[in-house]
Every structure is written in C-alpha cells, then in structure tokens.
Structure 1
Amino acid sequence: MRDLGVGFRYLLKGQRWVARHGKQYGFGLLPGLITLVLYVAALLVLGLWGADFVGWATPFADDWSSPWLGLFRGLLTALLFALGLLLSVITFTAVTLLIGQPFYESLSEKVDRDVSPDGTAPESDLPLWRELWISGRDSLRIVVRALLWAVLLFALGFVPFLGQTVVPVIGFMVTGFFLTEELAAVALQRRGVELRARLALLRGRKTLVWGFGTPLGLAFLVPFVAVFLMPGAVAGATLMARDLLGEETREDGGAETPEAPPRPSPSIGRNGH
C-alpha cells in the first residue's frame, strides 16, 4: 500500500515542476484548451439532441401509454448523456496528448534533463510523423480497452447495491490505470517501450499507478480542471516512468537549471527489452 502514497507524490511533484517552469506550463495548456472546446461542443450537441436520438432509436415505444413512454425515454436519455460524459473523461487524455504531442514531448524531455544526474534525456530516433502514428495507434488501442471496461461497468451499474457501491470504485480505479498509461506513454514511448511492455510495467506496480491516476481521474470530473492539470500530470508521469524503469533521479530536481545539450542515453528498445 506504500506505493499508493508514492504514486500520489509523483502527481504532486509534477504539478510543482510545472509551477516552477511557467513557460512550459503555458505551452502545455494549449492542447487541453483545444480539446476542451471540442468536447464541450460534443456534449452540448448530445444534451440538445440526445432526446431526439433516443426517440429515433426506440420506435417500438411510440405507442406506449403515459407515463411509461416518458419515463423510459427519459431514463435512456440520461444514461446516454452519462455514458457520453464517462467516455469524455476516459478519452480526454488520449485526444489531448495526440493533439499536443510536440508540446508534451518537449515538456517530458525537459523534466528528464532536469532530474537526470548527468542532465541528459533519452531521445527518440523516429521522425515526428512516425511518433504521431505510433501515439495515435496506441491511444486507439487503449481507448478500445477502456470502452470495453466502460460498457461492462455500465451494465453492472444496474445490479442492486453492487452497482451503487463497488462498481463506481472499480470504475475510478480502471480510469486511473488507463489515464496513467496514456500519460506515462509520453516518456516511455520516447525510450522505445512499446504498448505491451508499458502495460506490463504498469500492471507490475498497480498500487503505484492507482495512487497516481485515480486522484487525477477524480479531479478530471471537475469542469476545466483537466486542462490545468495536464502539463503537471505529464511531468509527474515522466518522473514515475523513471521509477518504473529504475532510472536514477536527482531528488533536488525541479529548480530552474540551464539546459544541457541533448545526448543519447541507453534506452529500452522497441521490442520492450
């Protein structure tokens, strides 16, 4: 259980790091703001026309008497919006990271150089288009996994007592795990660690992952909070990635220091070894 506290401390350390590096924080806000506008627009569309969609999708209920027709379609409309909200929380990080790939890659590299004993950071030897392709492909795979969990938990939510107690807790833990994977992928992908190897690393330290990702997932439920926490979350996930890989980290990292010129360093290959 000690890892729960360690994971949460990495989340706080990341927020402190961006607080000391205002320029990096400012650039890191832009992708989140763009994603937020897109998601708010999508949720508004769902809120305005969700009832019409439910009516179109349930023609078999047109002849139902009142109040059953209204109750049935009202419940489905509320469930549809709740599912859309859940999916927005699950996918927000993936979409933001994809839009802001160059921003967050730069931020993560600077964190690595700041806390590395020799002032260096692992660098990817792939072109930007290839990095974007890998990031988008892996994000899609993670989103599919998250959607499968979301559908399962959504169905279990109708089970009396279990659906109101255990299922929400499991839901936040699952959300926290996938959020952490997406955020840590920025640093781990730069080191050549593929998706399967990343998942294996995270599963080996589940309590660390939950300590980092679950509080973040809860915070992301508050409107606009995700935008302001994203840069620090990427910084904290970079620090956690170093821990997962056993890399040495300076405890006094985080103060403004002159940037050292990039230099190649040993990294895990694309096959995860």
Structure 2
Amino acid sequence: MRDLGVGFGYLVRGQRWVARHGKQYGFGLLPGLVTLVLYAAALVALALYGADFTTWATPFADDWSSPWPGLFRGFLTAVLFALALLLAVLTFTAVTLLIGQPFYENLSEKVDRDVSPDGTAPESGLPLWRELWISGRDSLRILVRAALWGVLLFGLGFIPVVGQTVVPVIGFFVTGFFLTEELTAVALQRRGVDLRARLTLLRSRKTLVWGFGTPLGLAFLVPFVAVFLMPGAVAGATLMARDLLGEVSAGDAPEEPEGSIGSDEQRVTP
C-alpha cells in the first residue's frame, strides 16, 4: 500500500532533518540516554534477582518432585523477563518523551518552522507544568491500552502455529501504532488535539501509521538504537502530524519506494 511507503518516508526524512541540525540532535539524545540507563539498571536487577522473586512467589512448588520446581520456576522467570522487555519497548518512548518534554517540544517547533511556508509554528500557550501533566496523563492511558493488548497477545501466543507466526506480527503492528501515537503527540498536543481525537486521527490512516511506527518498533528492539533514533523519530512524527492535519509544508512530498502503488486514504482533521 502506498501509505506504508509514505509513513516510512517520514521516518527517513526525520532522521535526515536532525542530521542537518546537529545541535538539535545532540540535545535530543540526552533524554534517551537517561531513560536507557534507568531501564538497563531495572533489567539487570531483574536478571539478577528474577529467579529469587519467582521462588518467593511460588512456595507451593517446594513440595513438587524434582525436576518440576526448577523447570516451572525457570519458565516463569523467562516469561517475567520477556514481559519486562516488552514493557520496556512499549514504555521507552513515553518515558523518554516525558523526561525530555522541553527538548522534544523545542525540536518539534523548529521542524514546524523549518517546513512551514510562513516560518511559524503552533504553540500550546500552556505552562510547562501543565504540558507535563497532560503528557504524563495521556501516556498512562496509552500504556494501559498497550498493556491490555500485550496481555491479549501473550495469551494468543500459546495457540499452536498461529501463536508463533501470526501473533508476533500483529504485536509489531500494535507496538508501531502506539509508538506513533506517543511521538505524534508532541506536535498534536501543541495544536490542542486531545488524546481521543489523536487516536481517531491515527486510526483513519492506519497504513501510514504502521509504515512509520512498525519499522521504528523493530529498530527499538536493538540495544541503544532507540536512543539514537529518538530525535529523528520526533522530527519525522512532526512532519507526519502536519500531513494528518492537512497542513501545507514547504516543498515536500515524502519520498516513497519506486514502484509503489495504491491510492491515498482520505485525510481527516479532528
């Protein structure tokens, strides 16, 4: 579908934008580095003490005959760590955006001014504490939605064949959707678009959203990559937000792979 290529094009263009604006890229790395250190410390602690936790949480297995207690607790420890990794992927963007709100807000505004025909950028007019409150509240709501999807997909993962093939693919598309929501929220919140309207807007262009967020979600699985891609992801999401709202940008239609076919889906303004 054409919109898949268009969405990926925004991701590429965002990385190119920060590559041309080294100062913005440098500042944009700081929140990701802080978040990475916090998450790495939590995952290391889980790796060191996860087995002790599962042993403490399953006293009923003490009376089982060998080797069942070890196998059962080993399985639970592996599941616990896998869920922690999934939660880390789903929440990394939200936490990084919350920590780096002033940095990414400034970056998004500069992208808007750079591509706007009149050189202006929308401003929320809200104090920083209010923006942080709205961002944190909305991120928590998205996290709840993502967690519900995670539980559902985890359960479906036990279905033979389908659980090992189709379900992981669905999981990546779900992750991509929620990543895109978090990233476009920087620009859309500044325009006064609330969470419900943002979700409606993104659902109206699912293939565009998947083209942007799904490759990004896959890249985020590689250690440290999320930190280096975050500034460009925010820039690309700002460009895509302009497209979603039908705003005119100076000289641009995003690059698409050669030979892509299909028709644009209708743009919707909330």
TM class by shorter-chain length?
Answer: over 0.9
What corresponds to 1:132 in structure 2? 132
What corresponds to 1:103 in structure 2? 103
Amino acid at match of 2:187: A
1:62-211 counterparts in 2 under 5 A?
62-211=62-211
Tell me the secondary structure at the aligned position of residue 63 of structure 2: coil
For structure 1, the residue ranges without an aligned partner over 5 or more in a row are 254-271
Amino acid at match of 1:212: F
Q: Distance in 1 between matches of 2:125 and 2:69?
A: 59
TM-score normalised by L of structure 1: 0.92
What corresponds to 1:19 in structure 2? 19
What corresponds to 1:41 in structure 2? 41
- Identify which range, 243-252 or 110-119, moves more after superposition: 243-252
Q: Residues 183-225 of structure 1: CA distance to partner in whole angstroms, max 9, x if unpaired? A: 0000000000000000000000000000000000000000000
What corresponds to 1:235 in structure 2? 235
Q: Distance in 1 between matches of 2:61 and 2:171?
A: 32
- Identify which range, 112-121 or 56-65, moves more after superposition: 56-65
Tell me the secondary structure at the aligned position of residue 62 of structure 1: helix
What corresponds to 2:260 in structure 1? none
- Identify which range, 61-70 or 208-217, moves more after superposition: 61-70
Q: Distance in 1 between matches of 2:2 and 2:74?
A: 45
Q: Distance in 1 between matches of 2:46 and 2:84?
A: 8
* 1:251 to partner: Cα distance: 2.4
Q: Distance in 2 between matches of 1:241 and 1:124?
A: 15
Q: Distance in 2 between matches of 1:230 and 1:38?
A: 16
TM-score normalised by L of structure 2: 0.93
Amino acid at match of 1:108: S
Q: Distance in 1 between matches of 2:73 and 2:175?
A: 28
Amino acid at match of 1:216: L
Amino acid at match of 2:243: D
What corresponds to 1:263 in structure 2? none
* 1:162 to partner: Cα distance: 1.0
For structure 2, the residue ranges without an aligned partner over 5 or more in a row are 254-268
Q: Residues 76-134 of structure 1: CA distance to partner in whole angstroms, max 9, x if unpaired? A: 10010000000000000000000000000000000000000111100111111100000
Q: Distance in 1 between matches of 2:148 and 2:49?
A: 25
Instruction: Count residues with an aligned counterpart.
Output: 255
Amino acid at match of 2:32: G
Give the RMSD, CA atoms, in angstroms. Answer: 1.1
Q: Distance in 2 between matches of 1:159 and 1:79?
A: 16
* 1:68 to partner: Cα distance: 1.3
1:210-221 counterparts in 2 under 5 A?
210-221=210-221
Amino acid at match of 1:27: F
Amino acid at match of 1:117: P
Amino acid at match of 1:75: F
Q: Residues 124-178 of structure 1: CA distance to partner in whole angstroms, max 9, x if unpaired? A: 1111110000000000000110011111111111111111001100000000000
* 1:69 to partner: Cα distance: 1.2
Q: Distance in 1 between matches of 2:94 and 2:75?
A: 29
